[in-house]
């Protein structure tokens, strides 16, 4: 299932607006920075209309005075129609290039349609034929795995939502479960197309890949204990490399999310009660309203209502940022864990220990990016990871990362950010080095050296001046990289 029916239901207006707009200024979105803190992306401002910003669950309405700055930014879903038509006016190579751009930006269905169109135009184009061959392989729906093997791991009352290649145990609303499966299917397809673009034709698992989406963090921790993985309690997700099961929990069950949402709900009740008192007061009455809705200076009822409107919009701002934090944590993590499953079940890694930890985690993190409520593709920088990487001062040396330093004992912001940054650099800036690395580690060899040693020695000769040159290039590239700032504070990811 692509960026169609489920996303229109769940992210409604923003998704439709973004895809409907074409050409000129309409190929942009806006980045909104709130006066009170936080930022997000959304559709462009329409004169005379409230500013509507979308979370995974609802639309929030603001006014211009709520924002410190509103700046335009490129918006790939709206750019696509113009790129598509330009490619259609050109050659099969132009169509291939357009499809790669769409894939990089998370427009998986659009990329697939363009490759099929290009293949009809030029069936002998070897790169396009390879991509279409992968798409044809993905068209077949897979059966369930043997579900009895998971007895005792799935809590009572959990339902199953299925896609062609994945299944999810959950205890959520049907629309949310369908959206989760749609996301996983999109990432699943993107993983295989991304591999194929690099010349890797990977095995498609014979059965659906299973995952559990726990409603409560406490259930997730209980699962880790049953799996003998209690050392991973500071993570948001866990992939069992032998069982092949991925598990995660709903980030709304985090203590900080719950506290913040309870506080917002209580404050809304207070303001609603105050609004009721104002509307019931005599027409000429003076209202005493302080800056936070507490007793303060005397004002007219109209002024008091205006202040209440502002305070309620600020609660909307807080709730919107919480929702966007949830999405970046929860759905980014779901994509992350699926990549761990795919690396194992696609034969990309012949065995789990064939790849160093930095490679396992760095590759999974490439698929975490979201923009404006939509999954943004493996070619888009992950704002949280980039922020965490730039917070490391001085810039981190490369050698410890290649030894898996800091990656073997649970989750750490800095270590994971380095793994993301190094793999992003290799894939985007040195694809030759990326392929040589994968080829070296996938090749069956009788070599007693640690995999970290083998990976370092595969990379070192690829830069004139060795890994010191690679390190400088890595730092320079990541410092110049641009990505929108995260909507809010994020911590404890995996």
CATH code, domain with 61: 2.30.30
What pLDDT score was predicted for residue 278? 84
User: pTM for this one?
Assistant: 0.88
What pLDDT score was predicted for residue 74? 84
Instruction: Establish if 39 belongs to a structural domain.
Output: yes
> Does residue 26 carry a pLDDT above 60?
no
What pLDDT score was predicted for residue 411? 82
Q: For a pLDDT cut of 70, what percent of the chain falls above it?
A: 87
The pLDDT tens digits for 67-96 are 999 988 888 998 999 999 999 999 999 999
Select from 346, 381, 405 the last residue of a domain.
346
Structure confidence at residue 492 as a pLDDT band (50, 70, 90): very low
Residue 174 and residue 160: Cα distance in Å, rounded?
10
Whether residues 304 and 208 fall in one domain: yes
> Does residue 28 carry a pLDDT above 90?
no
Whether residues 293 and 338 fall in one domain: yes
Q: For a pLDDT cut of 90, what percent of the chain falls above it?
A: 68
Whether residues 134 and 145 fall in one domain: no
Whether residues 68 and 201 fall in one domain: no
Instruction: Establish if 289 belongs to a structural domain.
Output: yes
Whether residues 470 and 401 fall in one domain: yes
What pLDDT score was predicted for residue 130? 97
Contact 252/323 with Cβ under 8 angstroms?
no
Whether residues 69 and 179 fall in one domain: no
Q: How many domains does the chain have?
A: 4
> Does residue 266 carry a pLDDT above 50?
yes
Contact 236/251 with Cβ under 8 angstroms?
yes
Q: Give, as one character, the DSSP assignment of residue 160.
A: E
pLDDT-wise least confident of 102-106, 128-132, 327-331, 405-409: 405-409
> Does residue 25 carry a pLDDT above 50?
no
> Does residue 227 carry a pLDDT above 50?
yes
Average pLDDT over residues 468-473: 97
> Does residue 22 carry a pLDDT above 70?
no
What pLDDT score was predicted for residue 285? 66
Average pLDDT over residues 286-294: 57
User: What are the residue ranges of helices labelled H in 32-173?
Assistant: 76-88, 92-104, 108-121, 126-138
Select from 316, 346, 376 the last residue of a domain.
346
Average pLDDT over residues 119-144: 97
The first and second tokens of residue 308, run together, are 């209440």
> Does residue 201 carry a pLDDT above 60?
yes
Instruction: Establish if 85 belongs to a structural domain.
Output: no
Whether residues 336 and 273 fall in one domain: yes
Whether residues 233 and 360 fall in one domain: no
Select from 326, 346, 366 the last residue of a domain.
346
Residue 41 and residue 32: Cα distance in Å, rounded?
6
Whether residues 466 and 334 fall in one domain: no
Whether residues 131 and 213 fall in one domain: no
> Does residue 291 carry a pLDDT above 60?
no
Average pLDDT over residues 284-292: 60
Whether residues 266 and 179 fall in one domain: yes
What pLDDT score was predicted for residue 230? 84
54 forms beta bridges with: 59
What pLDDT score was predicted for residue 184? 98
Structure confidence at residue 7 as a pLDDT band (50, 70, 90): very low
Higher pLDDT residue, 28 or 452?
A: 452
> Does residue 1 carry a pLDDT above 60?
no
Instruction: Establish if 176 belongs to a structural domain.
Output: yes
What pLDDT score was predicted for residue 18? 35
Instruction: Establish if 84 belongs to a structural domain.
Output: no
What pLDDT score was predicted for residue 360? 97
Instruction: Name the strand (E) or helix (H) holding 474.
Output: helix 467-480
What pLDDT score was predicted for residue 9? 35
Instruction: Establish if 147 belongs to a structural domain.
Output: yes
Q: Give, as one character, the DSSP assignment of residue 331.
A: I
What pLDDT score was predicted for residue 101? 98
Average pLDDT over residues 228-250: 91
Peptide bond preceding 394: is omega within 30 degrees of 0, i.e. cis? yes
Whether residues 295 and 397 fall in one domain: no
What pLDDT score was predicted for residue 45? 67
Instruction: Establish if 296 belongs to a structural domain.
Output: yes
Q: Taking each helix axis as running N to C, give the angle between helix 413-429 and helix 357-365, from 0 to 180 degrees, rounded to the nearest 10.
A: 80
Average pLDDT over residues 52-66: 90
What is the rounded average pLDDT for all residues in the chain? 88
Residue 294 and residue 48: Cα distance in Å, rounded?
32
* Helix/strand/coil for 440: helix
Residue 383 and residue 328: Cα distance in Å, rounded?
9
Q: What are the C-alpha distances in Å from 487 to residues 51, 354, 415, 425?
A: 17, 36, 22, 24
Average pLDDT over residues 367-390: 91
Residue 76 and residue 368: Cα distance in Å, rounded?
17
What pLDDT score was predicted for residue 446? 72
Q: Which domain holds residue 29?
A: 5-77
Contact 440/455 with Cβ under 8 angstroms?
yes
Instruction: Establish if 83 belongs to a structural domain.
Output: no
The first and second tokens of residue 310, run together, are 């502002």
What pLDDT score was predicted for residue 288? 64
Give the distance from CA 480 to its chain's centroid: 21
């Amino acid at each position: 299932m692509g960026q169609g029916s489920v996303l229109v239901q769940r992210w409604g207006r923003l998704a439709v607006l973004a895809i409907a707009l074409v050409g000129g200024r309409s190929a942009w979105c806006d980045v909104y920075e709130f006066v009170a803190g936080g930022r997000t992306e959304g559709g462009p401002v329409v004169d005379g209309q409230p500013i509507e910003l979308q979370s995974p669950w609802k639309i929030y309405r603001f006014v211009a005075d709520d924002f410190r700055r509103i700046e335009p930014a490129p918006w790939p879903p709206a750019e696509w129609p113009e790129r598509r038509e330009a490619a259609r006016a050109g050659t099969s190579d132009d169509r291939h290039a357009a499809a790669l751009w769409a894939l990089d930006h998370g427009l998986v269905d659009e990329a697939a349609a363009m490759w099929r169109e290009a293949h009809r135009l030029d069936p002998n184009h070897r790169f396009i034929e390879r991509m279409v061959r992968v798409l044809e392989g993905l068209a077949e729906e897979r059966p369930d795995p043997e579900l009895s093997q998971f007895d005792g791991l799935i809590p009572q009352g959990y339902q199953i939502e299925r896609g062609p290649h994945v299944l999810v145990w959950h205890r959520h609303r049907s629309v949310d479960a369908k959206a989760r499966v749609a996301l996983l299917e999109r990432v699943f397809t993107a993983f295989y197309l991304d591999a194929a673009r690099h010349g890797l034709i990977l095995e498609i698992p014979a059965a659906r890949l299973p995952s559990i989406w726990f409603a409560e963090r406490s259930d997730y921790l209980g699962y880790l204990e049953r799996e003998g993985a209690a050392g991973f309690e500071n993570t948001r997700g866990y992939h069992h490399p032998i069982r092949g099961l991925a598990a995660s929990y709903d980030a709304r069950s985090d203590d900080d999310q719950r506290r913040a949402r309870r506080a917002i709900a209580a404050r809304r009740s207070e303001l609603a009660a105050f609004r009721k008192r104002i509307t019931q007061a005599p027409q000429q009455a003076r209202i005493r309203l302080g800056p936070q809705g507490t007793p303060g200076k005397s004002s007219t009822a109209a002024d008091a209502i205006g202040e209440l409107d502002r305070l309620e919009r600020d609660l909307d701002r807080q709730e919107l940022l919480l929702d966007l934090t949830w999405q970046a944590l929860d759905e980014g993590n779901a994509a992350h864990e699926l990549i761990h499953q795919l690396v194992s079940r696609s034969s990309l890694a012949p065995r789990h220990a064939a790849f160093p930890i930095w490679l396992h985690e760095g590759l999974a993190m490439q698929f975490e990016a979201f923009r404006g409520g939509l999954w943004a593709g493996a070619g888009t920088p992950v704002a949280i990871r980039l922020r965490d990487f730039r917070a490391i001062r001085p810039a981190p040396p490369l050698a410890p990362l290649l030894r898996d330093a800091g990656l073997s004992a649970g989750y750490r912001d800095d270590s994971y950010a380095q793994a993301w940054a190094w793999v992003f650099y290799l894939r985007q800036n040195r694809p030759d080095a990326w392929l040589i690395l994968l080829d070296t580690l996938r090749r069956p060899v009788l070599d007693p050296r640690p995999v970290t040693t083998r990976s370092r020695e595969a990379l070192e000769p690829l830069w004139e001046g060795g890994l010191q040159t690679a390190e400088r290039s890595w730092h320079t590239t990541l410092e110049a990289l641009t990505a929108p700032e995260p909507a809010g504070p994020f911590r404890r990811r995996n």
